[in-house]
Structure 1
Amino acid sequence: MSEIKIRSAVPDDAEKLLSIYAPYVTETAITFEYDVPSEEEFRARIEKTLAVYPFIVAVCDGTIVGYAYASRFSERKAYDFSVELSVYIDKNYHGKGLGRRLYSEMENRLSLMHITNLYAKIAATPRKDDLYLTDGSILFHAAMGFETVGKFTSCAYKFGEWYDMVYMEKRIVQR
């Protein structure tokens, strides 16, 4: 694999980012969206995020192969030092360390913004033979230093199956 460069996303990345995200919507239970957003809607999501938080992309040979972004953890002012993270990698680049690179860069950028806590909402399945979801995301986050802090049971329904949702947390500033 060629050298990977990390840069801030721009709204014009919407088409490529959407091509990475769409299979997660249509083929997996990793996201609980049912419908792939339009390019215009995805562009608006990028713009909204960039107004407040980092949204970064991994680029290999001039092509975006993954992305990560932070979003507001909760609307109440007291939560302003906590964010939710999301990461999506092109399926042809899984297992190459891109998620780790993106999350490490996000952690650096967010610490400069005085963010103290990182959260991830992760789809989980109680079934070992699930066609749409593995425990890969939970294992990835655990390897990145996140700890499970909560679980919602059978809270989402997709592909005719009920899924759990796990909250994981990482404190990047100790108090």
Structure 2
Amino acid sequence: MSEVMLRVARPSDAAAIQRIYGYYVDNTAITCEVVTPSIAELTGRITKTLEKFPYLVATLDERVVGFAYVSPANPRAAYQWTVETSIYVDRNCRGKHVGTRLYDMLEELCRRMKVVNMTAHIVYPHDDQPDQYLTLASPKFHAAYGYRLAGRFDRNVYKFDKWYDMIWMEKAIAEHGHDPVPIVNFNAIKERFFGE
């Protein structure tokens, strides 16, 4: 049986990422985008993220089957210890622990970078009932990973002719101590994990 492998994303992965992400844009309310980004746009996002933060892909038999990255929760300096996570798995690879592998690595990298808080912003059914565009899989996945509900925003998202709520979940991965050390750039630690 093939093993899921992880590596740092490359600009050349943009087409594979577009293939995975486009399904969620077109068919689900999981993402708030309503038009699938172009390959050029996704290439730019990968490049921009990797200037400071991890952007990972999971491969199975050398085929990209998932991706995950973190970005600043807010660009202002006092927020630097808090990141927002994003993760998407090829719909045909669910149940193969792709998401788990990606999240395990993201969390470890964030610890090494001195991140304190990881957050997830998740679209949620306003009436608490899943529909054809949105399941409860993401909040359940995050809760199982130790994330807790931190807030809920009433009908912030409109997609597929329907209003959805937005929930924020968070997980502290380090102590909230006095005088935290500045965030370490991902590029300063990636070699020990990926040999790059």
TM-score (norm 1): 0.97
Query: SS state of the match for residue 111, structure 2?
Result: helix
The answer (yes or no) to whether the contact 2:130–2:136 under 8 Å persists in 1 is: no
Paired with 1:124 and 1:153, the residues of 2 have a C-alpha distance of: 10
Matches of 1:146 and 1:37, distance apart in 2: 29
Counterpart-to-counterpart distance in 2, 1:58 and 1:23: 17
Cα shift at 1:94: 1.0
Determine the structure 1 residue equivalent to 2:140.
139
Larger Rg: 2
* Residue 115 (1) aligns with residue 115 (2): yes
Q: Does residue 45 of the first structure (1) align with residue 65 of the second (2)?
A: no
Shift of 1:95: 2.0
Aligned to 2:138, the other structure's residue is in SS state helix
Q: How many pairs align?
A: 175
Identity level (%) = 44
* Residue 129 of structure 1: how far off its partner (Å): 4.8
* CA distance 1:151–1:10, change in 2 (3 Å): same
The answer to whether the 8 Å contact 2:68/2:85 transfers is: yes
Hey, what's the Cα distance between the residues in 2 that align with 1:24 and 1:70?
Answer: 18
User: In the aligned structure 2, how far is the partner of 1:85 from the partner of 1:112?
Assistant: 16
Letter in 1 for 2:87: V
What is the aligned partner in structure 2 of residue 79 from structure 1?
Answer: 79
Tell me, in whole angstroms, the C-alpha distance in 2 between the residues paired with 1:59 and 1:159: 31
Distance in 2 (alpha carbons) for counterparts of 1:16 and 1:54? 18
Please give the root-mean-square deviation of Cα atoms over the aligned residues, in Å. 0.9
Deviates more, 1:33-42 or 1:92-101: 92-101
Is the partner of 1:168 in helix, strand or coil? strand
Which blocks of at least 5 consecutive residues in structure 1 are unaligned? none
Question: Aligned partners of 2:95 and 2:151: how far apart in 1?
Answer: 26
Aligned to 1:97: 97
State the 1:56 CA deviation.
0.4
State the one-letter code of the partner of 2:166: M
CA-CA distance at 1:128 after TM superposition: 2.2
CA distance in 1, matches of 2:128, 2:66: 28
SS of aligned partner of 2:68: strand
**Does the 8 Å contact 2:124/2:167 carry over to 1?**
yes
Take 1:157 and 1:34, find their aligned partners in 2: how far apart are those partners?
10
TM-score (norm 2): 0.87
- Deviation, 1:12, is 0.8
The equivalences for 1:1-175 within 5 A come to 1-125=1-125, 126-175=127-176
Report the residue type matching 2:53 in the other structure: Y
Q: Which amino acid aligns with 1:144?
A: Y
> How many Å separate the matches in 2 of 1:14 and 1:83?
22
The aligned residue for residue 181 of structure 2 is none
Which structure 2 segments of 5+ residues have no match? Answer: 177-196
Residue aligned with 1:170, SS: strand
> 2:71 is aligned with what amino acid?
S
Distance (Å, rounded) in 2 between the aligned partners of 1:2 and 1:30: 28
